[in-house]
Chains A and B, each alone.
Chain A
Amino acid sequence: MAHFLKDKACVAGVGETRYTRGTDTTTLQDALLASSKALADAGLKPHDIDGIVSNAGLAPAPETLAANLGIENLRFAVGNTVGGGAGACAGLQIAALAIASGLARNVLMPVGWHSYSGLRVRKLGSEVDLTTVPGPIGATIADFYMPQGAMVPAHFYGWMATRYVQEYGVQPQAPAAVALAARKHAHLNPLAYMRGRPLTMEDYLNSRIISYPFRLNDCCLETDGACAIVMTSAEQARDLRKPPVFISGCAEGHPYPDDDFGGRADLLHIGLTDAAPKAFAMAEVTPADLDFAEVYDCFTYVVLIELEALGVCKRGEAPDFVRDGRIELGGELPILTHGGLLSEAHLAGAAHIVEAVRQLRRECGERQVRDAEVGVVTGWGDFGDGSIAILRR
């Protein structure tokens, strides 16, 4: 029997602002602009929206968005989903549940983030008192990591990456393949910040080490911008402006313990390791059915670990899998067809969803995955929280 949530909700509209480094707008202005575009894309009006899911720190609060957009009958408001970059994809699951249960008819999910012009992650601890950071990880960092010189995601995920490198003898050409694929695809995306800025294997190998094992080109961008997604029910979607993209499978997963890298028997058992099989079972597809994968790419090594958690290849085999253009457009499983956080912009995973929707509507022009029917989006946040959505047209 099919899972009760399978294909019950769909994405009806998407929208985004320009992606820049430097801006004179506010994140609220950007989130409102992206939301308005997503509503227009869906053919809906603000008064049609009765649910908002946003993520604290990455978007204005639902109440603020509703007040500004003229949403008079907000009845489902979620102001936080889960861990940072896992939140956008986890939001799809929350919105799908609300829609399938009838708690909401149409749900808006914006992300507006100025990670370049606003608070930069590198300022955590110097300009932001981590003990005041809400969520599960601020206290851990403030009390046990920062006094040891470890304070930013490049450090935390570096522990996972070094373990991965050591267990499997990973050579730098493997993460490089991820960086180069993302950049190659960004050249085909008019919105991508890195469009037209070449990156070669030699450039990658010569880029400086930020924190071993991460080179500069293993790390994602900091940018300014916003994007938004509008979700509705499968029934209503048929009467809207654009063809629906269905949420066929979704799940989230959390490593244990979630607030510390200590206590984890296996650091490479990430949230997605648990979530992915559930999402594939729900969607009744396998990794072999995927036409593309928008894998959360805060760091190249994280993408390799996620590809294995997805079941695209076995554990330790991603370095071989990503060779020979297999993850590039035209290859067996194109990833990050928009350029991702590495080469498009950092929208905390929400732009990965926008891109998947556009691919499945076949609106992607030069970078279109031919005959795209099924795609996957993943999220990743905090200390390895995972989320996943399998989308189909």
Chain B
Amino acid sequence: MKKTSGWPLPARMGLAAEFYQFCKLHELRFQRCTDCGTWRHLPRPICGSCGSFNYQWARSSGKGKVYSWITVAQPMLPAFSAAAPYTVPLVDMDEGVRMVALIEDTPPESMRIGMPVEVVFDDMTPEITVPRFRRAG
């Protein structure tokens, strides 16, 4: 999908910057508590399960299943016009976290709960890469 200029880039505040640094390497990584093993996303300083501040950026399989979605028909920014209608699913990743990303090359009518998807990377600028999904299998 063609992303025209003006397409919003992540602000990369705080720990989000680390998430996107791995995206730039085409690696999807989520925080994982090194005390209790719980995966988390969004990035947070503390584990909501055990209260530990210790974590690593652990590699995700990049695979998941669709939990829900929207298909945006009316673009809210001029930059989205060329892409609309576009579909943005919530995906339950294999690691147990849920992630939002636009799904590419998938007609809205083919969307199903439980549909397997996998992550791909979109190099939006020389500095910034964001994850997207595509249908798997």
Contacts and interface: CB of A to CB of B under 8 A. Distances in A.
B22 interface: no
B101 to A, nearest CB: 5
B71 interface: yes
Given A211-B74, A262-B42, 17 more contacts: A125-B8, A125-B76, A130-B11, A139-B13, A142-B8, A144-B100, A147-B7, A148-B132, A150-B72, A155-B72, A162-B68, A162-B70, A163-B68, A163-B113, A212-B72, A263-B97, A264-B98
Contacts of B88: 148-150, 155
Given A143-B12, A149-B80, A166-B68, A263 B73 contact: no
Contacts of A130: 11
Q: 9 shortest A-B CB distances, which residue pairs?
A: A262-B98, A158-B70, A212-B71, A163-B68, A143-B16, A142-B11, A146-B8, A209-B73, A148-B102
Nearest to B99: A262
A261 to B, nearest CB: 6
A211 B72 contact: yes
Interface residues of A, number: 40
Interface string B73-93: 110110010010110101000
Contacts of A125: 8, 76-77
Contacts, number: 117
A211 B71 contact: yes
B48 A257 contact: yes
A212 B100 contact: no
A262 to B, nearest CB: 4
Contacts of B10: 142-144, 146-147
Given A144-B100, A155-B88, A212 B42 contact: no
Q: Which of A130, A142, A267 has the most CB of B within 10 A?
A: A142
Interface in A207-242: 208-213
Interface string A142-170: 11111111111001001110110011000
A260 B99 CA distance: 10
A140 interface: yes
Contacts of B76: 122, 125-126, 151-152
B59 interface: no
A24 B9 CA distance: 36
A273 B77 CA distance: 34
Interface in A41-92: none
23 contacts: A131-B11, A143-B42, A145-B100, A148-B100, A148-B132, A149-B72, A150-B70, A158-B70, A159-B70, A208-B73, A209-B71, A209-B74, A210-B74, A211-B71, A212-B108, A213-B70, A260-B42, A261-B100, A262-B41, A262-B100, A263-B40, A263-B42, A267-B90
A382 interface: no
Interface in A240-276: 257, 259-264, 267
A255 B70 CA distance: 20
A166 B113 CA distance: 8
Chain A CB within 10 A, most for which of B7, B14, B98: B98
A146 B132 CA distance: 13
B67 interface: yes
B90 A142 contact: no
Given A144-B100, A147-B8, A159 B77 contact: no
B13 A262 contact: no
Contacts of A152: 76
B130 interface: yes
Interface centre among B10, B16, B100, B113 (most CB of A within 10 A): B100
A163 B67 contact: yes
A262 B90 contact: yes
A131 B16 CA distance: 12
Interface in A273-288: none
Contacts of A210: 73-74
Interface centre among B7, B8, B88, B130 (most CB of A within 10 A): B8
B50 to A, nearest CB: 15
A38 to B, nearest CB: 35
Interface in B42-77: 42, 48, 67-74, 76-77
A299 to B, nearest CB: 12
A263 B98 contact: yes
A131 to B, nearest CB: 5
Contacts of A260: 42
